[in-house]
Structure 1
Amino acid sequence: MARVVVVGSINMDMVVTTDTFPRLGETLFGSRFATFPGGKGANQAVAAARLGADVTMVGCVGDDAFGAAMKATLAREGIDVSHIRTGKEATGVASITLSGGDNAIIVVPGANNELSPEDIDRASDAFANADVILAQLEVPLDTVLHAARRAREHGKPSFLNPAPAVALSDELVSLTTLLTPNEHELATALQTPAGWWAEVLARMPGRIAMTHGKEGAYFTQADGTLVHQPGFTVEAVDSTGAGDTFNGAMAAFWHLGIEAAVLRANAAGALSVTRPGAQGGMPTLAELEQFLAQQS
């Protein structure tokens, strides 16, 4: 069982389903509304926990109904919530519009913006006992950098899903064991021209696993050889949590090596889009193993 510490955001997702996306100034009728637990950090924590990892969440919520609900939801997944602090701002929310399996999302960070380097230091014992530290960019960048520094001090691999995409400092890149961007996020994070991703992966062998939608994922071996892990064909219902599922799976299976981890992460991501909700579709370890057995 991998021990994973997730440093990241905790949101409540408010999801509207429509036939088409509204244009500027247009009002449409939707067909469905629901709330789902979300936030990239919480999503990735749930994904890793369902796939068998022992997960600790480091985050911040508001003193409100959404915050209480999110902590309870994570605890029900078997996640250690003792390092989730209650801040002054409201719990973060995401407004999500779904149409035809695609999504458009607006995030209001709220209490996520209060997650601080001091919160990382208070979780020192969890860092010391972890096998993988996993972070994203829906919390302050200084906090993410501090987490990467602490991971290095403890001799732990540090994963970074650079989303939402921003340019990363040389220090953060050097401290990161594995980057898990899509093509756009990779170009933004490392400030490289669009379309140069193969060259970038070759320059950082074994340190990038790049997702590419239905095509699957790409990574390079230690000698710089480019490897394509094809995607899996499924009937998509809601693509919201696919990337987060991929990241949680990479952390849960990292001990198997990058090739085996990417295979399983791709399959888990594919399964996640077959049910609604960012966390609702995330598979269990048993479901993942059954799905992989059916593919062989």
Structure 2
Amino acid sequence: MKITVLGDLLYDCFIWAPRLPRMGETVTGDRNGFYAGGKGGNQAVQCARLGAEVSMIGKVGVDPRGDFLLENLRRDGIRTEYVFREGETGTCCVHVDHAGHNAIIVAPLANETMRVEEVRRAEAQIAASDILLVQLQVNEEAVTEALKIAVRAGVRTVLNPAPARAVPESYFDLVEFWTPNETEAEFFTGCAQNGQAPEVWCRTAAECLRSKGARNVIITLGEHGCFYSGAEGEALVPPYPVNAVDSTAAGDSFNAAFCVALAEGRPLPEALLRGNAAGALTASRHGSQPSMPDRQALETMMRRKEP
């Protein structure tokens, strides 16, 4: 199974503290860490750890942080011939409280310089894939070109629309699965939660996004699991309860595990459950990529824990 990921690559600085600071406040932390990250990089690493043959399309700077990110991808067996280098490597500062909630600031830098012609250099790789997985942290032109290449080649497409921003109408024809989280779903639909039960609000938000042309919508809900609405009906898929300590990359693990399961030909309900399980495992550990489970850990979770 072959998965190509187009997305951002970031150098992550983490600080953990008892609580997140309010505006203008300084809070003393009790732990820090420096890791490879970025939604694109995270999702590529998780796909690889679950057994997929993964190619990364992205961009890092001409600096030591870029060297670090490339070495990290290669350590997980990810092909990097389409990771280009220019300028300064993107950086992410992540603050995490003891309940696992986070506040994040990203400086994308090199990620925003991806060019259409660079994506086209990877056309054969995209066309040979089972799935193309993309996000929105690289520039719109690059994402659009990759999606067009995939659709022409009959490759399945998954868009994790993060960070939330306006997208072209053409995405509704180019994307098979949209996978926003709650905040992103609110952005794309204008449907505020207003204290509604997850299933009630999700149904409204998903129907709104589908009315715009989305074929399949998966809203990730953290500790509440995920909600699916699309060609195969609709369902609130239960979570795998864990002691969450850091939710930073849980959504990335969900997307990756879901894509790997699709590429393996698993039924959609099972693919959603495997996404929930991978996300839960990641939330139970510290850091972004260091927290991501391998295939054995995921299979153990699937066998031992009932959602």
For this structure pair, what is the TM-score category when the shorter chain's length is used for normalisation?
over 0.9
Where does 1:153-164 land on structure 2 (aligned, <5 Å)?
153-164=152-163
Which residue of structure 2 aligns with residue 150 of structure 1? Answer: 149
**What is the CA deviation profile of residues 135-189 of structure 1, one whole-angstrom value per residue up to 9, with x for unaligned ones?**
0011101211111111111111111000111122210121101111012212323
Where does 1:124-203 land on structure 2 (aligned, <5 Å)?
124-189=123-188, 191-194=189-192, 195=201, 196-200=204-208, 203=211
1:201 shift after superposition = 6.4
Where does 1:1-150 land on structure 2 (aligned, <5 Å)?
2-87=1-86, 89-100=87-98, 101-150=100-149
1:259 aligns with 2:269: yes
Gapped regions of structure 2 (runs ≥ 5): 193-200
**What is the CA deviation profile of residues 230-273 of structure 1, one whole-angstrom value per residue up to 9, with x for unaligned ones?**
01110112111100001111111112132111110000000011
Runs of 4+ in 1 over 6 A off after TM superposition: none
**What is the CA deviation profile of residues 84-141 of structure 1, one whole-angstrom value per residue up to 9, with x for unaligned ones?**
0011x21000001111211100000010011121111010121121000000011101
1:30 shift after superposition = 1.6
1:22 shift after superposition = 1.8
- d(CA) in 2 for partners of 1:205 and 1:28? 42
- d(CA) in 2 for partners of 1:169 and 1:67? 30
Letter matched to residue 289 of structure 1: E
- d(CA) in 1 for partners of 2:42 and 2:243? 21
Letter matched to residue 57 of structure 1: M
Which residue of structure 2 aligns with residue 210 of structure 1? Answer: 219
TM, length-normalised to structure 1: 0.94
Q: Describe the SS at the equivalent of 2:244.
A: coil
**Stretch moving more, 202-211 or 15-24:** 202-211
1:41 shift after superposition = 0.2
TM, length-normalised to structure 2: 0.91
Letter matched to residue 121 of structure 1: R
Q: Is the 8 A contact 2:172 2:215 kept in 1?
A: no
- d(CA) in 2 for partners of 1:231 and 1:269? 9
Letter matched to residue 96 of structure 2: L
- d(CA) in 2 for partners of 1:217 and 1:201? 16
**What is the CA deviation profile of residues 25-82 of structure 1, one whole-angstrom value per residue up to 9, with x for unaligned ones?**
2223221121011000000000111111110000000011110010000000010011
Q: Describe the SS at the equivalent of 1:240.
A: coil
1:202 shift after superposition = 6.3
Which one of the candidate residues 238, 243, 249 is aligned to 1:241? 249
Question: How many residues matched?
Answer: 292
Letter matched to residue 161 of structure 1: N
- d(CA) in 1 for partners of 2:214 and 2:114? 32
State percent identity of aligned pairs: 37
Letter matched to residue 207 of structure 1: N
Q: Is the 8 A contact 1:201 1:219 kept in 2?
A: no
